[in-house]
Structure 1
Amino acid sequence: MSTADYATYIASLPRVIAGAAAVLRDAEGRVLLVEPNYREGWTLPGGTIEAQDGETPRQGAWRETVEEIGLDVRLGRLLAVDWSHGAGRPPIVAYLYDGGVLSDDDLKAIRLQEEELLSWRLVSRAELGEHLLGSLHGRVLAALDVLADGSGTAELENGVRVDR
């Protein structure tokens, strides 16, 4: 296959958006959520993976966490992967990593990226549905289940587990 044919083939392939985020908790098990200024609802610290620059999902989750809340956390294991369809955009594949338990000092050290975020808060599992829209709610619940029961990475489609 010539270089031009290969480039044409690659250009014809379907596209997906890839994102990654960290599930950060406090000692009480509440999840740290951030409020973006560019859309409705809350989310986890994270964002789009800069794959064109060679970034991996883990690196993207770490970079976005540092950029958005100013914390350099060591990410643990992969908790969940979700394939999520949406109107007017390609599918998103989202990776959630264990960001660990934040100390009181960590929480005091949070510095929001003001260009993108309005605020942050800690939210109990029971209240997540009031803050997280669409498939993100199911994605975070699955990640918390994996943390609680020690099972392997959860595979989801549109926020619903398909690996069970």
Structure 2
Amino acid sequence: MNIKIITVGKLKEQFLKDGIAEYAKRLSKFAKFNIIEVQDEKAPEQLSETQMQQVMAKEGERILSKIKDKEYVFVLAIKGKERTSEALAHEIDQLAVTGHSDITFVIGGSLGTDPSVNQRANTLISFGKFTLPHQLMRLVLTEQIYRSFMINIGSPYHK
């Protein structure tokens, strides 16, 4: 199985890099795992609606260029469906069983994801109503992917 996270922008904080590296190492027992960073679009603090759409469109093009046709795509979105850890684990397990061995998760930039990215998604997923920095979301998502595999093998890690 191949698991990929596509995310906008570079990760700067070392403590987040360390946490992600730890979960990536643990995940390597179950799947090929990698994170692809696409460049964020530079923009002023105050943006008009048109400027916001332009920024999201450019970031969206960069994201879509990293997704292959055969990949099953989860896009993290506020309007996505919330899942429990068990439900995500079951979904990943079922994808593997039904021949979807390439799974991609997308974390958009600070403005969110362009509608074109959401349309490419097989499913939109939400981690709740909290607003989290997208750099922190990388760590949370990586841990939840690892947790999914641990649930699927019946490990006590999840308890």
* TM-score scaled by length of structure 1: 0.26
Which structure has the highest strand share of the two?
1
Which structure has the highest helix share of the two?
2
Larger radius of gyration: 1
* TM-score scaled by length of structure 2: 0.26
